[in-house]
């Protein structure tokens, strides 16, 4: 008797593996996509996972749905290990009802997120579906409401990583948007709130689905995606790499790896061009300071005038925030401000110390920037650094001008250590601009205005275009040789391992949004 029951269970299990059937799986593969189960097999160690709720069924009776059996309700929920660490995941099955999410599928996803939070383990969401199941009407909308609620509730509790491995249309896109990180897949991801047809009908604009919601647009323009992968297979591998930089939950620390002790890096002494207007590539500095091959750029395609990413220093995970002098001289615009503020908050949520590499001439001037609210966006950076209690170490390499000097985490904004290279220039603005304002009348009245202007520039440069004035006031903790940078950062991080921080009691602060 029991044999029959076991045989029946085995049959049901085998059936589930077929997903939406041979034909639909072939179609999925023909699009260059893995299916929902293959993706999970790739994610979990040895392809092994425990499935959650495989036998859940929808209870919709409208539009012929009462006769429609949807395997696993169109979403495979699972728990397993990734690099030996417990991880939860849900994977939408496009071959079953187009991966659409109804009342019961949503319940499965919410249950997975809640179990992950209870276990204190990350959750990975693989999105590949048509969004809210149309036949289920408000039941499907309510389902998504519960998903959004769970995403928001556990934000900052456990890492939540979303992969857009197919369509993710309509309001459904708000679930990945509420997760910590979004990975898009080249030529495969399609993410928008209102699709091309709706836009055409309402505004008359014509645009293809790829141009509107493809991987590139979210990676480089909208800022909705933090990572881009060439295939869904590589997106899953990227998830595993990202998880290696994150702790299991907010109460734990990221795992350290073994690495050689920090040492002098002679190349850094020659990295900054003599001419302060000459650009250089800040990524060269980052790759020298970080343990070899550990820098993983976050938001690489968005606001390239700023750089954010995870790295390791002496094996310990750090978040790097830097200006990029080779793009707009590294000045901060609206997008860079959003990018940095978000990354700082992400690091703070997951106990990742922040290292700031500063070479910033200021906020980007422009009518668009002012109209777009650069004040409000720039304020996010100040807020994010001010509220971050993780260790914060700032290195001023060259320019640190005006509000941008403060917004990149100066001493006042809570940097625990600030070190400056001898090339550092810390001032309200650059010499030329400053002299033109302060000595305007004197220059105009002089016999040789250009000579007077140059003399004033030289005077200003001597006073402020060195770190010694700031050091004399204690705004920086020390002036260091560039080659000593990694040693100073590593020491600072060791000192700060037991950092104490106190929060002012209040209900909720109001970060400018
Ligand atoms: C029910 C759906 C569905 C949906 C797709 N399907 N989306 N079923 N509800 N939302 C079904 C199709 O009927 C089809 O079933 C199968 O999935 C495959 O879909 P196709 O259209 O044949 O595939 P394709 O041409 O690749 O196009 C995929 C697609 C398109 C781009 C996702 O189906 C589409 O635009 N779907 C609707 C997207 C949408 O507007 N969703 C609602 C979003 S609002 P058969 O059986 O014929 O193969 C939303 C709100 C969330 O999500 C909550 C907000 C608050």
User: What is the C-alpha to C-alpha distance for residues 75 and 112, in angstroms, rounded to an integer?
Assistant: 11
Give the span between the Cα atoms of 97 and 36, in whole angstroms. Answer: 13
Look at ligand 1, atom 45, and give the residue with the nearest C-alpha: 97
pLDDT at 511 over 90: yes
Q: Domains plus CATH for the chain?
A: 2-245 (3.90.226.10), 266-424+466-497 (3.90.226.10), 430-465 (no CATH)
Q: Is the CB of 196 inside a 6 Å radius of any atom of ligand 1?
A: no
pLDDT (tens digit per residue) in 27-67:
999 999 999 999 999 999 999 999 999 999 999 999 999 99
Q: Which atom of ligand 1 is nearest to the CA of 99?
A: 17
Q: How far apart are CA 136 and CA 220, in angstroms?
A: 35
pLDDT at 465: 82
Nearest CA owner, ligand 1 atom 50: 171
Active site residues: 170-171, 403-404
Dist. CA 132 → ligand 1 center (Å): 8
Residue range 430-443, pLDDT digits in tens: 889 999 999 999 99
State the Cα–Cα distance between residues 258 and 275, nearest whole angstrom.
39
Residue of 96, 98, 196, 212 to test ligand 1 pocket, by largest number of atoms within 8 Å of CB? 98
Identify which of 33, 58, 130, 210 to mutate to test ligand 1's pocket (most ligand atoms within 8 A of the CB). 130
Supply the mean pLDDT for the chain.
97
Is the pLDDT score of 455 beyond 90? Answer: yes
pLDDT-derived band of residue 379, with 50, 70 and 90 as boundaries?
very high
Residue 510: pLDDT band with limits 50, 70, 90? very high
What's the confidence (pLDDT) of residue 277?
85
Helix/strand/coil for 322: strand
Tokens of 221: 């323009």
CB distance 411 to ligand 1 below 6 Å:
no
* Rounded-to-integer distance, Cα 106 and Cα 199, Å: 28
Q: Which atom of ligand 1 is nearest to the CA of 209?
A: 31
Question: Cβ(137) to ligand 1 under 6 A?
Answer: no
Is-contact 100 139, C-beta < 8 A?
Answer: no
The least confident of 72-76, 125-129, 503-507 is: 503-507
The rounded Å distance from CA 167 to ligand 1 centre is: 9
Task: Provide the whole-model pTM.
Answer: 0.96
pLDDT band at 171 (very low <50, low <70, confident <90, very high): confident
- CA dist 125 and 113 (Å) reads 9
> Ligand 1 centre and the CA of 157: distance in Å?
32
Q: Whose CA is nearest to atom 25 of ligand 1?
A: 98
CA-nearest of 83, 487, 486 to 245 is 83
Percent with pLDDT over 90 in the chain:
96
Task: Report strand pairing: 50-52 vs 75-82.
Answer: antiparallel
Distance from the CA of 70 to the center of ligand 1, in angstroms?
A: 14
Contact predicate 196/209, CB 8 Å: yes
DSSP 3-state of 376: helix
The DSSP letter of residue 11 is: H
**Atom from ligand 1 closest to the CA of residue 141:** 53
> How many angstroms separate the CA atoms of 270 and 397, rounded?
12
CA–CA distance, 169 with 177 (Å, rounded to integer) = 12
Q: What is the pLDDT averaged over residues 411-430?
A: 96
Average pLDDT over residues 389-414: 97
Cα–Cα dist 67/70, whole Å: 10
471-478: long-range contacts (C-beta < 8 A, 24 or more apart)? 471/420, 474/411, 475/410, 475/411, 475/418, 475/426, 476/396, 476/411, 476/418, 476/419, 476/420, 476/424, 476/426, 477/411, 477/417, 477/418, 477/419, 478/419, 478/420
Tokens of 304: 């390239």
Using alpha carbons, select from 366, 358, 367, 303 the residue that is nearest to residue 336: 303
Mean pLDDT of 192-204: 94
Q: Does ligand 1 lie within 6 Å of residue 391's CB atom?
A: no
């Amino acid at each position: 008797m029991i044999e029959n029951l076991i045989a029946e269970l085995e049959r049901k299990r085998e059936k589930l593996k077929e997903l939406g059937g041979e034909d639909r799986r072939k179609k999925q593969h023909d699009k260059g996509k893995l299916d929902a189960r293959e993706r999970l097999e790739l994610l979990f160690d040895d392809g092994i996972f425990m499935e959650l709720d495989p036998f859940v069924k929808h209870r919709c009776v409208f539009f012929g749905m009462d006769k429609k059996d949807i395997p696993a309700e169109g979403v495979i929920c699972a728990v397993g290990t990734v690099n030996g660490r417990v991880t939860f995941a849900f994977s939408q099955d496009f071959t079953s009802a187009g991966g659409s999410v109804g009342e019961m599928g949503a319940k499965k996803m919410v249950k997975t997120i809640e179990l992950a939070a209870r276990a204190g383990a990350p959750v990975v969401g693989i999105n590949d579906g048509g969004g809210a199941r149309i036949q289920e009407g408000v039941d499907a909308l309510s389902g998504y409401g519960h998903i959004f609620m769970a995403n928001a509730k556990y934000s900052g509790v456990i890492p939540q990583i979303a992969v857009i491995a197919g369509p993710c249309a309509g309001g459904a896109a708000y679930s990945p948007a509420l997760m910590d990180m979004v990975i898009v897949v080249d030529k495969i991801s399609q993410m928008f709130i209102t699709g091309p047809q709706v836009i055409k009908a309402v505004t008359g604009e014509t645009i293809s689905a790829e141009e509107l919601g493809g991987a590139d647009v979210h990676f480089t323009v909208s800022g909705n995606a933090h990572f881009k992968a060439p295939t869904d297979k590589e997106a899953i591998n990227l998830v595993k790499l990202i998880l290696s930089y994150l702790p299991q939950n907010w109460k734990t620390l990221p795992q350290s790896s073994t690495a050689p002790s920090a040492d002098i890096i002679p190349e850094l002494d020659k990295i900054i061009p003599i001419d302060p207007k000459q650009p250089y590539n800040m990524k060269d500095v980052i790759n020298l300071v970080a343990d070899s091959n550990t820098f993983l750029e976050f938001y690489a395609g968005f606001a390239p005038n700023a750089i954010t990413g995870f790295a390791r220093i002496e094996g310990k995970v750090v978040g790097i925030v830097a200006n990029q002098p080779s793009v707009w001289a590294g000045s901060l615009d609206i997008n860079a401000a959003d990018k940095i503020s978000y990354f700082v908050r992400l690091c703070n949520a997951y106990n990742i110390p922040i290292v700031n590499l500063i070479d910033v001439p200021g906020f980007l001037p422009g009518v668009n920037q002012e109209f777009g609210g650069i004040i409000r966006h720039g304020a996010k950076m100040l807020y994010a650094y001010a509220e971050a209690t993780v260790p914060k170490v700032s290195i001023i390499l060259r320019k640190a001008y005006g509000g941008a000097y403060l917004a990149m985490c100066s001493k006042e904004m809570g940097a625990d250590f600030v070190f400056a290279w001898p090339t550092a220039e810390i001032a309200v603005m650059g010499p030329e601009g400053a002299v033109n304002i302060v000595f305007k009348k004197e220059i105009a009245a002089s016999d040789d205005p250009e000579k007077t202007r140059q003399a004033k520039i030289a005077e200003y440069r001597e006073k402020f275009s060195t770190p010694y004035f700031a050091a004399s006031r204690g705004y920086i903790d020390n002036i260091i040789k560039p080659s000593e940078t990694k040693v100073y950062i590593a020491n600072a991080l060791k000192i700060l391992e037991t950092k104490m921080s106190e929060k002012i009691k209040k209900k909720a602060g109001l970060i400018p949004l």
